[in-house]
Amino acid sequence: MTIIITILVGFVGILIYLLIKYPDRSIGTNPRRDLNGPKGLPLFGNLFDVLKHDNNGFVIFLYETLMKYGPNATYTLPGFGRFITVNNPECLEHVMKANFEGYVKGEKLYKILYDLLGDGIFNTSGDNWKMQRKLFSQLFNVRNFREIICVVFEEQTKIFLKIMEKKVNSGEIFDLQELFYRFTLDSFGKIIFGLDFKCLTNTDSPVKFAQSFDFVQGALGKRLQNSFWNITELFTEEGRKLREDCKYLTEFAYQIIENRRKNPETLREATDVLNLFMEAKYDNGENMTDKQLIDVVLNFIIAGRDSTAQTLSWMMYNIMVNPSIEEKLVKEANSLLSDEEPISRYENIKQFQYTHATLYETLRLHPTVPNNFRVCLKDDVLPNGIPIYAGEMVNWSSWAAGRDERTWGKDAKIFNPERFLNSEDGLKPSPYKFTSFNCGPRICLGQNFATTEAIMLATAVLRQYKFEMVPGQKLPPDFGVSLTLPMKNPLLVKVYHR
């Protein structure tokens, strides 16, 4: 009994000590009285501020923090430590360019994303990242765009148009976001694997690969709000399914790689991304291992399949609720396309200026990757004099920054493509202001890829068909918990001839 009492007294003493030491921040963090930010709870910091939102609480929390406390604010989360926001162009340029080597992804984020992204380009830093980026940059050349990528985009757009014709004739209500996902997965299956997932040819059948990929993304997105994910996932059904689906995705990619290695003739003849990477060599002359190829493939899919489908979904939503914008888009499509040439080609994509502006405005308000994080390696000072200490995390929210009136003006929350056409910055402003394609040395290599795919499909479809949202849906749509920014619920529409 005496021993039990002694243990209890000791425990209470330690708890009191910790409560005094960390009165308004998460355990293990140092105070930052020099910065503003939402006051946290003892030991837990701002964890419950994130969890109080029903939907993707982290995105909303960062937006509220930016609006109330300014571009540079601080907060703490157990398991992650102290965060300092850099939601203004000057500070972000310093972190992502001027002192690029001083800020890295960090071990915590690496572990959160490893089950899906492995050691792929989006989850690594240093030499491994540099080597992969060099290989990726070789992929996106004009020849590959014309001979591989745009050929597939045109084929898939023709199939999409045929589906629209069937939808018009049947008068059915359908989920437009789901159809965009099918379009991009079919496109990526052919571009990456030389494989037809048959998503568009069997629109009523579920696609196991897509279901697993979406579930894994959602589960990993939740890890950002759960400091104890590595423990809780051991005992939950979601954790079991996450491990099962990650295994399936890995084995799926591995099987394709193995089959191609067993058939050298197929390897020589294949004209897809996997073939390009299997033949590519690092600076030391070595080829990629199967594990590295799997990581490349899964990173590539999350970059292309998800980003373009989600952007098209948000873009179509904004077009449907803004008839004047739709009218201008249709006018531009009619002026550049015809019955003889109903789909734009790579050579004339740049002529669709208003469509480009509408796409960028969509990405400004609905960026594919809403949040980003880096860890400071050694003590640093931001351009505005704010110190960042080694081990602290900096983060920025493209979703929040796109709505910041200090950066975008009084109409920051209004969907207005003209801001890109009339801007002194040109059609697309500085990437440290418009961060939807990331910035600095990590700026998205595939932005031309995504832009081309989205504009080819959008212009061809809008020229011939008009979409109407089914009444009764929540506006604006909620976004789901994920690593990216999908709509939480189906985007239900009907489609008509123009």
376 labeled binding residue: no
Cα–Cα dist 164/203, whole Å: 12
- 198: which DSSP letter? -
Give the CA count within 13 Å in the CB-facing half-sphere of 94: 18
Using CA atoms, how far residue 446 sits from 139, 156, 217, 359, 429, in Å, is 10, 19, 20, 15, 17
- 308: which DSSP letter? H
DSSP string, 34-88: TS-----BTBTBTHHHHHTSSS-HHHHHHHHHHHHH-SS-EEEETTTEEEEE--S
Q: Which of 191, 176, 243 is nearest to 492 (CA)?
A: 176
Contacts of 416 (CB under 8 A, 6+ apart): 361
Q: Which of 119, 104, 109 is nearest to 442 (CA)?
A: 104
Give the residue carrying structure tokens 């005992």.
235
Contact 396, 87 (CB under 8 A): yes
Amino acid present at 89: P
Kindly give the interhelix angle for 107-117 and 208-223, rounded to the nearest 10 degrees.
170
Cα–Cα dist 476/320, whole Å: 12
Contact 66, 85 (CB under 8 A): yes
Cα–Cα dist 329/355, whole Å: 6
Alpha-carbon dihedral 166, 168, 172, 177, rounded to 10 degrees = 80
Cα–Cα dist 484/310, whole Å: 9
Q: Which helix (H) or strand (E) holds 347?
A: none
Alpha-carbon dihedral 456, 459, 463, 468, rounded to 10 degrees = 110
Cα–Cα dist 480/149, whole Å: 29
Length of the chain in terms of residues written = 498
Cα–Cα dist 455/333, whole Å: 10
Q: Which of 412, 432, 435, 441 is nearest to 90 (CA)?
A: 432
Amino acid present at 437: F
Enumerate the known binding-site residues for heme.
Answer: 444
Enumerate the known binding-site residues.
Answer: 444
